[in-house]
């Protein structure tokens, strides 16, 4: 064997798709339980052909994105994928520097979060808080000084471990607030801004719905907001948000997700009805205006205002049903865009948010 394909340890639970290596190619079987790739290849031919055996439905999530590659695990680029005669997706990867990391999603895990913490610590008018419950916790970034009256904004990414462009976008938001003092000061004058860049303790090689509970069960954690005993991270977020609602200070709240490349646009939405609560014509008109203002200039941005949620128990469903609060969700696309697109998306959302000041309709006035 001329090369070695070694699973990266330390990023997540420690599994990757099965593979076969044969010079000058490597084939990953993504049709099994683990449908993602996140590996480091060493001592391979300078130009390595990578083949992905993948079903048609799963292929839709990455075909328009490409195979994600890096020589240093800091900068990432997408190698175009083409469909072979046997239905496999193929890409050519440059391994001329001796090794290359390859993934089917832009990797963002605890390593990325640790870099973010180190790079932004000590920025004026900001702080990191560590939320903790049930032997698990997560860092929360906060901008602004709390005077007991300002609106409180929440932006939460990484509820779904595998939807990594959400954390990348939240990471970009935090870095922007730590470097663009004019924008940061404008937002801080209006609100306390709280950003959770990585809710899930896991990362990119987790199979879909494999957020793991403290007792080892795999669940769809993003849809547990209404449960009596949700995962600790969701419980912590819910407590923070509901405290703001009780104080009548909840302004903007958005969860950041990613449908990867299955849609060629970044979709922002809220919903009209949940439980016994339905937006009045005035609140619906307000929500429509806010959606349009927030998405303005966002790369590939589109909005939607469906009548009901597609899956019960998600944050915007629970908060409207239980608290009559209007909240938002964005799905950041990876179709034909990568890290620079995520950075532009994060910055544009913040710029647009800084121009919005009337959040009274969020909670039923």
Q: How far apart are CA 36 and CA 263, in angstroms?
A: 18
CA dihedral 62, 64, 69, 74 (to 10 degrees): -100
Total count of residues recorded for the chain: 365
Are the CB atoms for 196 and 3 separated by under 8 Å? no
One-letter-per-residue 3-state SS of 9-41: CCCCCCCCCEEEEECCEEEEECCCCCCCCEEEE
Instruction: Give residue for tokens 């994105």.
Output: 65
Q: For residue 13, is pLDDT > 90?
A: no
Q: CA 279 → CA 250, 251, 282, 321, 362, distances in Å? A: 17, 16, 8, 11, 10
**What pLDDT was estimated at residue 110?**
84
pLDDT in tens, 132-186: 987 778 999 999 999 999 999 999 999 987 889 999 999 999 999 999 999 999 9
DSSP state of 276: T
Report the DSSP pairing between strands 25-29 and 38-42.
unpaired
DSSP state of 207: P
**What pLDDT was estimated at residue 143?**
98
pLDDT in tens, 290-313: 999 999 999 999 999 999 999 999
pLDDT in tens, 346-359: 999 999 999 999 99
pLDDT in tens, 201-225: 664 444 444 455 666 666 788 999 9
pLDDT in tens, 31-59: 876 678 888 888 888 899 999 999 998 89
Domains of the chain: 4-103 (2.60.40.3120), 110-362 (3.40.630.10)
Cis bond leading into 24, ω under 30°?
yes
Q: How far apart are CA 343 and CA 75, in angstroms?
A: 13
Using CB atoms within 10 A of its CB, is residue 79 exposed (0-12), middle (13-18) or buried (19+)?
middle
Closest CA to 280 of 248, 328, 324: 324
Q: For residue 264, is pLDDT > 60?
A: yes
Average pLDDT, the chain: 89
Q: For residue 1, is pLDDT > 50?
A: no
> What residues are paired with 156 via a beta bridge?
196, 255
Are the CB atoms for 170 and 155 separated by under 8 Å? yes
Q: For residue 104, is pLDDT > 80?
A: yes
Using CB atoms within 10 A of its CB, is residue 44 exposed (0-12), middle (13-18) or buried (19+)?
buried
- Give the HSE-up count for residue 147: Cα atoms under 13 Å, Cβ half-sphere: 8
Q: How far apart are CA 157 and CA 169, in angstroms?
A: 8
Q: CA 95 → CA 106, 141, 155, 158, 306, distances in Å? A: 18, 37, 37, 30, 46
Instruction: Give residue for tokens 């007991």.
Output: 148
**What pLDDT was estimated at residue 44?**
82
**What pLDDT was estimated at residue 142?**
98
DSSP-based helix, strand, coil % in the chain, nearest 5: 25, 30, 45
Are the CB atoms for 162 and 204 separated by under 8 Å? yes
Element (H, E) at 42: strand 38-42
| Cβ neighbours for 5, distance < 8 A, ≥ 6 positions apart | 19, 21, 26, 39, 40, 41, 42, 44
pLDDT (average), residues 267-286: 97
Q: How far apart are CA 225 and CA 189, in angstroms?
A: 30
Are the CB atoms for 104 and 36 separated by under 8 Å? yes
**What pLDDT was estimated at residue 356?**
98
**What pLDDT was estimated at residue 238?**
97
């Amino acid at each position: 064997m001329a090369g070695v394909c070694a699973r990266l340890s330390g990023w997540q639970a420690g599994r990757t798709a099965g593979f076969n290596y044969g010079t000058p190619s490597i084939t990953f079987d993504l049709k099994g339980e683990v449908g993602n790739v996140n590996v480091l290849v060493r001592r391979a031919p300078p130009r390595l052909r990578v083949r992905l055996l993948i079903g048609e439905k799963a292929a839709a999530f990455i075909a328009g994105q490409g195979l994600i590659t890096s020589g240093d695990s800091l900068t990432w680029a997408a190698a175009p994928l083409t469909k072979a005669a046997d239905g496999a997706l193929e890409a050519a990867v440059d391994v001329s520097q001796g090794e290359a990391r390859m993934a089917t999603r832009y990797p963002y895990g605890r390593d990325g979060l640790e870099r973010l913490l180190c790079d932004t610590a000590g920025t004026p008018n900001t702080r990191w808080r560590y939320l903790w419950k049930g032997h698990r916790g997560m860092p929360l970034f906060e901008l602004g000084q709390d005077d007991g009256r300002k609106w409180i904004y929440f932006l939460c990414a990484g509820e779904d471990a595998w939807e990594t462009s959400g954390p990348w976008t939240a990471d970009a938001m935090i870095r922007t607030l730590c470097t663009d003092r004019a924008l940061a000061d404008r937002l801080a004058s209006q609100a306390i801004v709280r950003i959770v860049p990585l809710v899930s303790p896991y990362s990119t090689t987790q199979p879909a719905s494999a957020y793991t509970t403290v007792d080892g069960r795999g669940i769809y954690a993003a849809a547990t907001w209404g449960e009596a005993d949700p995962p600790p991270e969701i419980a912590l977020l819910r407590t923070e948000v509901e405290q703001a609602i009780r104080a009548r200070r909840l302004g903007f709240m958005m969860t950041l997700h990613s449908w990867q490349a299955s849609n060629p646009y970044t979709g922002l939405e809220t919903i009209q009805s949940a439980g016994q609560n339905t937006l009045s014509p005035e609140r619906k008109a307000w929500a429509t205006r806010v959606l349009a203002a927030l998405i303005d200039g966002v790369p590939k941005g589109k909005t939607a205002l469906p009548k009901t949620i597609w899956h019960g128990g998600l944050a915007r469903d629970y908060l409207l049903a239980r608290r009559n609060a209007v909240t938002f969700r964005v799905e950041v696309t990876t179709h034909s865009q990568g890290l620079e697109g995520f950075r532009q998306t994060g910055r544009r959302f913040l710029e647009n948010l800084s121009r919005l000041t009337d959040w009274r309709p969020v909670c039923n006035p």
